[in-house]
Amino acid sequence: MEATAELSKTLDVKMRKYWDTTLLSCAYAGTRNVLKVQNLLGQCSQQHLEEDEVDQGPHAVLGIAMVAMAEELGHEIAIRSLEHLQYGEQNIRRAVPLALALLCISNPKVKWIGITLLYHLANVII
């Protein structure tokens, strides 16, 4: 991971933040690391961006699902966190159904399939 992180320092500032969030999410996928989930939730809550910054919210939402998908308790906590993100900005709300689908990929639950469909319909209407 260190070599890839060093490689990201050669990229443009906008791409570097995207690359670092994606790399962090993939590196900690399935580890149930609570501190990384909190870090990613913090990235979702950043609302004031500078001109040269890219919004990391949607990538962080997917990262939350990737980190928490290994066990049942982390799975439930991530779903509760994602439910709170539905009241956020539109680009974050659009990433929530994909994160829910990623969490339930190996253990599909009818309840979450219905909620994912409702998210999708709400975004289509908006």
26-44 pLDDT tens trace: 889 888 888 998 898 888 8
Q: Given the structure tokens 């990623």, which residue do they identify?
A: 102
Mean pLDDT calculated for residue range 115-125: 60
- Residue 126 binned pLDDT confidence (cut-offs 50, 70, 90): very low
CB 37 within 8 A of CB 76: no
CA quadruple 57, 37, 28, 93: dihedral, nearest 10: -30
Average pLDDT, the chain: 78
**pLDDT score, position 121:** 59
**pLDDT score, position 52:** 60
**One-letter amino acid for residue 78 of the chain:** A
pLDDT at position 46 over 80: no
**pLDDT score, position 116:** 62
CA dist 86 to 43, 97, 115, Å? Answer: 15, 9, 11
Q: Choose among 73, 66, 50: nearest CA to 103.
A: 66
Mean pLDDT calculated for residue range 70-75: 80
Residue ranges per structural domain of the chain = 2-125
Q: Choose among 102, 98, 105, 103: nearest CA to 119.
A: 98
pLDDT at position 6 over 80: no
The crossing angle, in degrees rounded to 10, of helices 13-27 and 34-45 is 150
